[in-house]
Structure 1
Amino acid sequence: MSEKQLHGMNAANLAKKVLNHTPIFILDVRNENDFNDWKIEGEKVTILNAPYFDLLDGVDVILDQIPDDQEVVVVCAKEGSSIFVAEQLIEGGKSNVSYLIGGMKSWSEHLEPVKIADLNGGGTLYQFVRLGKGCLSYMVISNGEAAVIDAVRTTDVYENFAKENQAVIKHTMDTHLHADHISGGRQLAEKTGGSYWLPPKDATEVMFHYEKLEEGSSLVVGHTSINIQPIYSPGHTIGSTSLIIDHQYLLSGDILFVKSIGRPDLAGKAEDWVTDLRTTLYDRYKQLSDDLIVLPAHFGNVKELGDRGQVAARLGDLYKENPGLNIHGKSEFRRTVTENLPPQPNAYQEIRQTNMGRISPTMEEQREMEIGPNRCAVHDDKTN
């Protein structure tokens, strides 16, 4: 077999196929536990798990399950095992076969920019969808300036995007101290000469300088009327702070998602923060306009993605449809957000320490720490 018969597909091309609802067959050769924990999903994605060690003697046992009329992508953790299996499939007579370059690690890191809207007075709001991790980050661009909210650690994506749009990043912000992924906000601000903003109540143990993201201040991006207004909204963390952009968009961080609400236990203080969470969701947010478009910091399932790959919902609709906003009674709410929660994110304690600047893992260690889904929500999104 010549090497030309096998080709790799990068995460960007696979993401476009998933978002464009292109039928594709995924053969995932990781072990069953890793597969069940976290996998590639999409409306037109068909997936089969066949562990690599079960295929060392040949792929004959699965050949009849591999389609001939559909594109097949073999996936493993880092890439090596998938190359071996893909080669075996080609030798077995399958033709339209490739492997995911960089494996699930590369899938976890890919960001897909999606335009949300043109803003009043000029400027544009973009959402960056991290399909493999469920993270959502944002960029506001106006008059040659940009602000980035809830950036992930792969900061070159934001730098390149701003440059392509003739903008300089002036501000980076985190809505809270993240526990599921390593923030790129501080690093991005250092690289671009911008200011890094963090809610002060989440920053009592950080080891670096930051600007205080707190209610009463208003950041202006560019020279237009695109105001970013912080709103204190604790519950997921004690410092969680939402942002209203252009009087139209509510960046809710990890307080409110499309299908669920934020969990209060990732700092070990669920009992302390449950009242804050309920007050934010059932009182503070209730005072906001129903017409605000909620843009969260995470999603749990590809079913939450819209027709262009965006994750967004009208606040008034969420009060009708989101189960986390329809829990009757304080005691029932307390039980819901403190009992029977999904597993906590992988290495979340180390991720929090990294985001505080208290430890400095290598890039490879950071990649390992982030493996797996985000798990920031109260409800297991698979059931929604």
Structure 2
Amino acid sequence: MAPQGQLQGMSAAQLSQKVVNNESLFILDVRNESDFQDWKIEGKHVHIMNTPYFELIDGVESILDSIPDDKEVLVVCAKEGSSKFVAEQLIEQGKQNVSYLIGGMKAWSEHLEPVTIGGLRDGGELVQFVRVGKGCLSYMIISNGEAAVIDAVRMTDAFTQYAKERNIQIKHTIDTHLHADHISGGRHLAELTGATYWLPPKDAEEVVFPYEKLEEGRKIVVGHTEIEIQPLYSPGHTIGSTSFVVDHQYLLSGDILFVESIGRPDLAGKAEDWVSDLRTTLYERYKQLSEDLIVLPAHFGKVTELGEGGRVSARLGDLFKQNPGLNIQDEAAFRRTVTEKLPPQPNAYQEIRQINMGKITPSVEEQREMEIGPNRCAVHDA
């Protein structure tokens, strides 16, 4: 507990730990209402209140009765400045255990939390990097001192630092598809580490950089004992979407299948064309796989999808029973669900696709602005 009168900051990493560990926290979000409604910090025991900063410039007396004395209080804004001001006002009014989010929601959007999913048969392991504030999931397959990183986000330091600490060499970076909701770090990470960058060729017709073709039948080997990453062509979210069966244990499903929903087919403007592909992948190709595979998606949409320690995963057989998107037997109803009942499209998704093709290179700050907000790759009403 911070001594009265002393303002403390909470890092995005500390906040992430509280969310994944289901700790109790009261958040005062001082962004404007529209930004708050679009995207907010969520957690099982997170209680959140929105009062715009401009209502508090002249004092916080109007909200004092709403700020609990028996909970840790975190003040949040877009970049940090407004939250520091409001937190200081609360402390001056006698509130204790008050802190502000260092770097604001921008920092929250960029933090990656590594969690170990499980082991590989040769003693290696599979690590999931959870971008709690954005809902993105990246993966590192580790075997015999080598690694492959799948669906890397643009904050590549998280992967290079993790590899350095573990004395691991990143040999491959792979994107399951051409992303539209966030900027891929796969190509940049490959350049930093000398790794091979893989991309499905059907998604790469407009890219302007060299890449290795990720096609069914090719096996990407990590380590000396041949941990196989077997690509599985699985179109629907995009025409090139490719899943992976790793070590006969894990199914990395990209943005085709999530824990509580399924992928949307409209982010390249081809929804009507790709609906049949999506249904075939989910209802036929995936049905041929072992029900015991652990599904590891590229995104999660709701905090309820976070499991123990922040992991996002589910057994394939369980998803066929429980996931609404896998239980729409009528084909016409399925088509309506994935073309009509969609959430808003991701922020700046057209520009993000252009970046991921290598056609434009905005500044780091411009890239941050493009990614602000939640991911919207799923059919959440499925």
TM over 0.5: yes
C-alpha distance in structure 2 between counterparts of 1:340 and 1:288, whole Å:
28
C-alpha distance in structure 2 between counterparts of 1:3 and 1:90, whole Å:
7
Map of 2:190 onto structure 1? 189
How many residues in Structure 1 have an aligned counterpart in Structure 2?
380
Map of 1:47 onto structure 2? 48
Map of 1:223 onto structure 2? 224
Say if 2:17 is the partner of 1:9: no
| TM-score, structure 2 normalization | 0.98
Deviation at 1:3, TM superposition (A): 11
Map of 1:364 onto structure 2? 365
C-alpha distance in structure 2 between counterparts of 1:19 and 1:328, whole Å:
35
Gaps of 5+ in 1: none
C-alpha distance in structure 1 between counterparts of 2:336 and 2:19, whole Å:
37
Map of 2:242 onto structure 1? 241
C-alpha distance in structure 2 between counterparts of 1:138 and 1:70, whole Å:
34
Deviation at 1:340, TM superposition (A): 2.3
Q: Given the superposition, is the C-alpha separation of residues 271 and 221 from structure 1 closer, same or farther in structure 2, using an over 3 Å criterion? A: same
1:226-276 deviation line (CA, Å, top 9, x unaligned): 110000000000000000100010000000000000000000000000000
Deviation at 1:4, TM superposition (A): 7.0
Say if 2:370 is the partner of 1:375: no
Give the 4+ runs in structure 1 shifted more than 4 A.
none
1:328-381 deviation line (CA, Å, top 9, x unaligned): 22111111100021000000000000000000010000000000000100124x
What amino acid does structure 2 have at the position aligned with 1:345?
A: P
1:281-325 deviation line (CA, Å, top 9, x unaligned): 011101001000000000011111111210000001000000000
Percent identity between the two aligned chains: 76
Say if 2:159 is the partner of 1:158: yes
SS at match of 1:220: strand
Map of 1:285 onto structure 2? 286
Deviation at 1:225, TM superposition (A): 3.4
Retained in 1: the 8 A contact 2:142–2:223?
yes
Alignment of 1:203-352 (within 5 A): 203-352=204-353
Gaps of 5+ in 2: none
SS at match of 2:69: coil
C-alpha distance in structure 2 between counterparts of 1:335 and 1:285, whole Å:
21
Say if 2:87 is the partner of 1:86: yes
C-alpha distance in structure 2 between counterparts of 1:177 and 1:25, whole Å:
37
| TM-score, structure 1 normalization | 0.98
Map of 1:56 onto structure 2? 57
What amino acid does structure 1 have at the position aligned with 2:81?
A: G
C-alpha distance in structure 1 between counterparts of 2:4 and 2:94, whole Å:
15
What amino acid does structure 2 have at the position aligned with 1:343?
A: P
Deviation at 1:157, TM superposition (A): 0.4
Q: Given the superposition, is the C-alpha separation of residues 207 and 224 from structure 1 closer, same or farther in structure 2, using an over 3 Å criterion? A: same
C-alpha distance in structure 2 between counterparts of 1:271 and 1:258, whole Å:
24
Map of 2:118 onto structure 1? 117
Retained in 1: the 8 A contact 2:5–2:91?
no
SS at match of 2:295: strand
Retained in 2: the 8 A contact 1:120–1:225?
no
